Amino acid sequence: MTRTWQISTATDAVRARIATARTAAAYGVPPLERTRLSTALGTHLRHCVAKGGTWTVTLQVPEADVDAGTLRITVAPVHDPQGGGEPAWRMSVLCPGAGVSPEPEPEPEVGDDAAALAEALLGADEDTAVVLERLAEQEDLVAFHREELHQTNQGVLALHADLDTAWRAQREAFAAERAARTEAEEARRRLRFLADASTLLTTSLNHEEILRRLPGLLVPRYADRVDVWLFDHEGDRHRPTPHPAAAVLAARTGRPQYAADHPGDLPGVDDQPPSALDPGRPLLCVPLLARRTPLGVLTLTPPGARWDPDDAVMLIELARRASVALDNARRFEHNRDIAETLQRALLTDLPTTPGLRLAARYMPATHGLNIGGDWYDAFRQPDGSLITVIGDVTGHGLHAAVMMSQLRTALRAYAVDGGSPGRLLTRLHVFLHHLQPDLFATAVIARFSPDDPTVTWAAAGHPPPVLRLPDGRVHVLDAKPGAMLGIPLRQEIEDHTVRLSPGATLALYTDGLVERRALGIDPGIDRLATALGAFDPAELDADLDGSADRLLGPLLSDSERDDDVCLLLCHIDSAAGGEPDRIPAGVDHLR
């Protein structure tokens, strides 16, 4: 359905506006939408009246057979010279409850009377009053929510402030944790370096090797240059080469010194002016002290502009450990020189006997003082017999060497009274038990009688002699050995005799030649027997000393030995003549 009005005066405009508002109310348009429609239409109609001319207002309402529709209004100028080609104005409003078409109301009668016009306008603006009332309610609601929002904003601001404070505290905690972790890592790195460096320095007992290792440990990470000034053995601290004044002061005071054109701020270190020898570089001079005795001064230049204080503390500790390593090395070298001198003094010049050749070899262990309790000896008894002996005192070092010397001297003294090898070992057993109850020894003695093609031997806890026959067969003489010398046990050590023929060789040795920690002693004795049996008789006759060296070669192929090695070869000349060898019962036949 369509309704149309002609607008040329204000009265026409009022009539059309009032009719439109009433029609919208009849079709169920909500008050807010009706107010918007009336306001917009009134504004446009005022424009039309002000502009002049004739205008047409067309109102289209929904049909009666639809549940909802659209109410459309159009304002367009009538085409006359006053229209000026003004475009049409349109507006649409939804009618949610159209239902049935209401009865059309009569056109409101509004004359030129101002009172009647005002009454009609007030009646048409009832919706505006409803909207204003609802607007007031909304304003109150908005004010209420504004206050709530303000309170919420204040809470949010406070929460943000708390979160910001917590974030700052957390950031500071994280920064402190990272700093602590970094510091702990640096501390672990320094401790690990100290442990590794200490191990490297203390594994050597050669002070020259320690001095060579120091620069490799410190350059380039902790020092750009390393100089070690060691005093000589007499304690003279003056060398032909000049040394920084800070190094001399460190040697005199025993305190670390830092020489530079700026304070070092290093804990436990005294600051000094820059060195005249090298004024452009800082110097850290650390005294090397061992048992409160000055050994020298370690002078370092930093890898950069200066040292970190913690690194300086670590370097001072490393210097202390290097001092201990150097002192131990020097003491060891001193004791080694004494031990080697004593060892050389105790080695026997082998006697010369017609028809019998002797060759001896002594090799110290590759670890320790290079001296132990292994010893050999050969001397004559008053009846012309030749005593050969090889023994081993438990332990190493000067104490073992001294006890070995006493046993050697006691054996020679007992041999003057005569006596068989078993009798001599028995007397040595008693002597050692009363002289040094906590020390033990092993030994084997072989006696060669003149004009008698036999050898008598006795063993006390010692590896058995090995006998090579002229035909290359090898036997181990292990019949009924005695126990170790010096143990708390009364014993009488027995003698054993075997006949020898020209070309036979008897090998006496210590356990360092045949015993290996992982294999035991029996495989080593087998290797000795095999190596001895491989010699040619003529080779043994011609060069017994060279044969001893060649015998040691395959048996000592490993360069590291934990024990001393002693070997004594006794060879009967092939030209001596005699009967074939006969091995007594009970002797192990290896080959």
Query: Where in the chain are the domains?
Result: 2-124, 207-341, 347-589
Which tens digits make up the pLDDT trace of 484-493? 999 999 999 9
Q: Which residue has the tokens 């304002």?
A: 75
pLDDT of residue 359: 95
As a residue count, the chain comes to 591
With 0-12 CB in 10 A as exposed, 13-18 as middle and 19+ as buried, what is 303? middle
Q: Establish whether domains 207-341 and 347-589 are of one fold.
A: no
Check residue 33 and report its DSSP letter.
Answer: H
pLDDT of residue 387: 95
Query: Is the CB of residue 336 less than 8 Å from the CB of residue 349?
Result: no
Q: Which of 158, 294, 149 is nearest to 234 (CA)?
A: 294
pLDDT of residue 237: 46
pLDDT of residue 240: 60
| Beta-bridge mates of residue 357 | 571
Query: Is the CB of residue 216 less than 8 Å from the CB of residue 318?
Result: no
User: Which residue numbers in the chain have pLDDT < 70?
Assistant: 64-68, 79-85, 97-129, 131, 233-240, 339-340, 343-344, 346, 366-372, 396-397, 557-562, 576-591
Q: Which CATH class is domain 347-589?
A: alpha beta
pTM, 2 dp? 0.54
Query: Is the CB of residue 254 less than 8 Å from the CB of residue 278?
Result: no
Respond yes or no on whether the N-terminal peptide bond of residue 220 is cis (omega within 30° of 0): yes
Q: Which residue has the tokens 């060649």?
A: 550
- Name the CATH code of domain 207-341 (choices 3.30.450.40, 3.40.50.300, 3.90.550.10, 3.40.462.40): 3.30.450.40
Beta strands in 159-253 (DSSP E): 225-230
H-run or E-run covering 571:
strand 565-572
Q: Which residue has the tokens 């929904």?
A: 62
pLDDT of residue 23: 86
3-state secondary structure of 340: helix
With 0-12 CB in 10 A as exposed, 13-18 as middle and 19+ as buried, what is 395? middle
Write b or e for each residue in 10-41: b if 16 or more Cβ atoms lie within 10 A of its Cβ, otherwise e: ebbbbbbbbbbbbbbbbbbbbbebbbbbbeeb
160 phi/psi in degrees, rounded to 5: -60, -40
Question: What is the DSSP track for 472-532?
Answer: S-EEE--SS-B--BTSS----PPPEEEE--TT-EEEEE-HHHH-BTTTBSHHHHHHHHHHH
With 0-12 CB in 10 A as exposed, 13-18 as middle and 19+ as buried, what is 56? middle
Question: What is the DSSP track for 269-330?
Answer: -EEEPPPSSSTTS-EEEEEEEETTEEEEEEEEE-SSSS--HHHHHHHHHHHHHHHHHHHHHH
pLDDT of residue 68: 60
| Beta-bridge mates of residue 572 | 356
H and E: helices and strands count for the chain: 13, 20
| Beta-bridge mates of residue 443 | 391, 460
